[in-house]
Structure 1
Amino acid sequence: MAEASGPAKRRLERRIMRRLGLRSSLDRVWQSVPAAVQIGVAAVVAYAIGHYLAGHELPLIAVIVTITTLGFSRDARPGRVLETVIGILAGILLSALLVLVVGRGVWQLGLAILLGALVGRALSANPAVAVAAGVQAVLVVLLPDPAGGPFLRGIDGAIGGAVALLATALLPRDPRGAARRDGLALFAVLEEGTLSAAEALRRGEELAAEFALSRLRGTQRLVNDWTTSLESAVAISRISPFLRRRLPELRSQGRLLQAGDLAARNLRLIARRIEFLVRDEQPREALADALGETAAAIRELRDGVTNPSALAEARTRLERLAVRLDPASLTSGNVSDAALVLMIRPLVVDLLTGTGLDADSARALLPPL
């Protein structure tokens, strides 16, 4: 029976993983629809301008530059778009000059790729710019010259870059969507890790503490993702007449991001401390309750990513918790447990700043030591 259940269990696990993989793929497709629409419309506009207005027979470079510049990157800031455009144009013009001086051939192709990539690296720290510049260099060297000469492709590249910049402002993706998703993901992990840490204290269970620590160790990537998507959303909203009204909401997310970043750092330290404490297998109900309330507040902060009114509930909960964080009353004089309370206090202060309360007012709520 045990042998039969083993293969059945593995088949079940494979089915679950396939379903999760399919769901993840569908989520990616759905989330990419705005970017795909933006890229498609912008590429058509770039082709129309190059062909019908500029009179170029095949403005291939204009279309390629538009697609390459916009892309599906998480970071869609106008500055990044402009940086990519400059790198691509430099690769095009440098390769056109190279064709005029030394002609076309195998070694000329290698030289064009080398110079294009190096120029791209010189102009931007983003590796994608160097790759894009190298690709454009390949097209200039391998494709026959248009009727107006190789430098005509520089005009097509400028058309594509200008259309990409206009699309960023006038046909923007929903920058709040990615920022919201990243914020929700961070606070979900913070809540899960805090609940597991509270459970470890409540049961005196080292396994729960290890799980909490393993979850919280992965938060830095989530912080970095949210930082990138939020900075991109703010930059796009500043130049887009359709999104400028979203700036207050995005600034509120900025406070939550800062609070979440600091909270993640504190929670990693707290989880390590708890992993050491619970080795005695003794329950610590008062400390578990304090962390349980912290987890509930984190859940309300997570709701605040999409609904700023939820931040008031989080502030009320955290204020009630802050006044209770007296090491002497929560730990009955146990020095090791008191040290944990001292670690929870700055965590609560950091979370309170995410609700809009200034740090000094948050610290003033704590019992004196």
Structure 2
Amino acid sequence: MIERLRGRFVAALPPALRHRLRRLWLSLVPIAQCALAAGLAWWIAVNVFGHPQPFFAPIAAVVSLGLSLGKRWRRSVELVAGVTIGILVGDVLISQIGSGSWQIAAVVALAMSVAVFLDDGPLIPMQAASSAALVATLLPPGGIAGVHRAIDALIGGVVGILVVVVIPVNPAHRARRDAAGILATMRDAARELADGLTEMDIDKVSGALENARNTQGEINTMRADMSGGREVSTMSPLYWTSRHRLQRISATADPIDNAVRNFRVIARRTRGMTQRGEHLRPEIIEIISDISRGFETLRTMMLAKPGEEPDQADAARVLRTIARKATAELVGDSPLAETAVLAEVRSLLVDMLMTCGLSRSSAVATLR
């Protein structure tokens, strides 16, 4: 009952506000992780190591975690390496040449050069430059303070990793939710495209294309979260048993991405046909409408927990029913544009079947 009321309340909100609230909801756990890691890193640096102002510790903890689940381990290592390089270069150089405009430029250039020479990642040079600039402008160079700053960066990075291990984000849940959101968008886009082609409404067809194009950011987020989920399931003992499930979920990334790309091609081709006043065969429009139902089945499959329906086999049965309609005989006497649309529809169905766990050869065989 409460869940239903909450769903109605959220659905009644303006789309822009609903999107912002969803973004905040998805980020609550990473925000909590960053806050906890920052406070804990400061406490350890002050109370365990006796550092008077260890501001590098909470900064390192927050940067190493971030809001994205992906590559946190690498971010921590890069952060510590970049800060250490910047501090060492800044301490050595500023203590010899003094502080000023040209000295700052020289320190930043040298720190970034050393970082780029050692690693091709983007974070190390930025952290090296910012740390060197801090030493050149605000922090006294030399002495034990430089060593403390490097230790503080190490404390922050280690605390960030420990927080992920002890209080991890559910890796499977976030990845499934990302994929389900993309599939929901494609479900609506396919329905809108079918309606637009039936009514010869160029605005609806263009709207479906635009909605499909706007999913690229969500796809990138999905890939990052799937990568981060695999990382969490490797580091945290709480989710070691989820590794196989994460692998299965991650295997859907490429088919979903390819399905969206193929749908964009279909929408772009049919938009051109609609602009020219060319009607698409009703049987093909019906298949596109059925594809909307297929996307919805895939969405519910992604959200279903182990043992719940629909599972991969259930979704594959629905898609096979749709695929059997997309026969080459439909365009035996059709113009080239219509034949090309059916070819893309068949390719889209292959990608959707692969999202259900079928191999490409098995998915293609379904369409013969």
Q: Shorter-normalised TM-score: what interval?
A: 0.7 to 0.9
Aligned twin of 2:346: 345
Partner amino acid, structure 2, of 1:43: A
Q: Is the 8 A contact 1:76 1:232 kept in 2?
A: yes
Per-residue deviation, 1:281: 5.3
CA distance in 2, matches of 1:118, 1:22: 44
In structure 2, relative to structure 1, the CA distance for the partners of 1:124 and 1:220 (3 Å cut) is farther
Contact preservation (8 Å) 2:350, 2:364 = yes
Report the CA distance shift for 1:346/1:25 in structure 2 as closer, same or farther (over 3 A): closer
Note if 1:286 corresponds to 2:287. Answer: no
Local SS of the residue matching 1:357: coil
CA displacement at 1:260 relative to structure 2: 1.0
Q: Does 1:260 align with 2:256?
A: yes
Partner of 2:202: 206
- Distance (whole Å) between structure 1 residues aligned to residue 340 and residue 25 of structure 2: 47
Asked if 1:54 corresponds to 2:49, the answer is yes
Whether the aligned pair in 1 keeps the contact of 2:68 and 2:225 (CA below 8 Å) is no
1:354 pairs with 2:355? yes
Report the CA distance shift for 1:68/1:221 in structure 2 as closer, same or farther (over 3 A): closer
Aligned to 1:228: 224
Q: Distance in 2 between matches of 1:108 and 1:263?
A: 54
Partner of 2:39: 44
Q: Distance in 1 between matches of 2:99 and 2:54?
A: 21
**2:98 counterpart of 1:81:** no
- Preserved contact between residue 60 and residue 76 of structure 2 (Cα < 8 Å): no
1:187-220 CA distance string (max 9 Å, x none) = 1222222222222332333333222222222333
Query: Where in structure 2 are there 5+ consecutive unaligned residues?
Result: 1-12
Unaligned runs of 5+ in 1: 1-17
- Report the Cα distance in structure 1 between the residues aligned to 2:322 and 2:16, rounded to whole angstroms: 40
Quick check: 1:91–1:137 contact (8 Å CA) kept in 2?
Answer: yes
Q: Given residue 356 of structure 1, which amino acid in structure 2 is its aligned partner?
A: G
**Residue 129 (structure 1) shift:** 4.1
- The aligned residue for residue 315 of structure 2 is 314
Q: Which one-letter code corresponds to 1:317 in the other structure?
A: V
Is the Cα–Cα contact under 8 Å of residues 57 and 153 in structure 2 kept in the other structure? yes
1:303 aligned onto 2:303: no
Amino acid at match of 2:179: G
Quote the offset at 1:96 in angstroms.
2.0
Once the two structures are TM-superposed, the CA of residue 35 in structure 1 deviates from its matched residue by 1.8
- Structure 1: which amino acid aligns with 2:130? V
What is the Cα deviation at residue 332 of structure 1?
6.2
Q: Distance in 2 between matches of 1:200 and 1:26?
A: 31
Give the residue type in structure 2 aligned to 1:263.
A
Residue equivalent to 2:128: 133
In percent, how many aligned pairs have the same letter?
29
In 1: Cα distance, 2:94 partner to 2:224 partner: 39
Deviates more, 1:234-243 or 1:178-187: 178-187
Q: C-alpha separation between the residues in 2 aligned to 1:85 and 1:256? A: 34
Q: 1:22-33 to 2 correspondence within 5 Å? A: 22-33=17-28
Amino acid at match of 1:334: S
Whole-Å separation in 1 of the counterparts to 2:19 and 2:123: 25
Indicate conservation of the 8 Å contact 1:77/1:231, yes or no.
Answer: no
Distance, in Å, in 1 between the alignment partners of 2:116 and 2:173 is 31
Give 3-state SS (helix, strand or coil) of 1:312's partner.
Answer: helix
Q: Provide the residue aligned with 2:4 in structure 1.
A: none
Structure 2-normalised TM-score?
A: 0.84
TM-score of the superposition, structure 1-length normalised? 0.84
**Matched residue SS, 1:302:** helix
Which residue, out of 211, 215, 235, partners 2:211?
215
SS at match of 1:190: helix
- The one-letter code of the counterpart of 1:134 is A
Give 1:19 shift: 4.8
Displacement of 1:58 in angstroms is 2.6
CA RMSD of aligned residues (A): 2.8
- Separation in structure 1 between the aligned mates of residue 66 and residue 339 of structure 2, nearest angstrom: 52
Instruction: Give SS of 1:150's match.
Output: helix
Alignment partners' CA distance in 1, 2:273 and 2:71:
45
Correspondence for 1:3: none
Matched residue SS, 1:242 = helix
Change (3 A) 1:167 1:122: farther
1:158–1:22: structure 2 CA closer, same or farther, 3 Å change rule? same
**How far does residue 23 in structure 1 lie from its aligned partner after superposition?**
4.0
Match of 1:103 among 98, 102, 113: 98
Q: 2:3: which partner in 1?
A: none
1:151 aligns to what SS in structure 2?
Answer: helix
Q: Equivalent residue for 1:91?
A: 86
Determine which of 243, 246, 252 is the counterpart of 1:247: 243
The 1:167/1:76 distance shift into structure 2, 3 A limit, reads: farther
Secondary structure of 2:251's partner?
helix
AA at the equivalent of 1:243: Y
CA drift of 1:37 comes to: 2.0
Deviation at 1:40, TM superposition (A): 2.3
- What is the aligned partner in structure 2 of residue 196 from structure 1? 192
Report Cα offsets for 1:76-106 as digits up to 9, x if no partner: 5322332222222222222222233323344
Give the distance between the partners of 1:325 and 1:288, measured in 2 at CA: 11
State the distance in 2 between where 1:252 and 1:234 align. Answer: 11
Q: Which amino acid aligns with 2:345?
A: I
Deviates more, 1:87-96 or 1:112-121: 112-121
Q: Could you tell me whether the CA contact under 8 Å between 1:255 and 1:353 is conserved in 2?
A: no
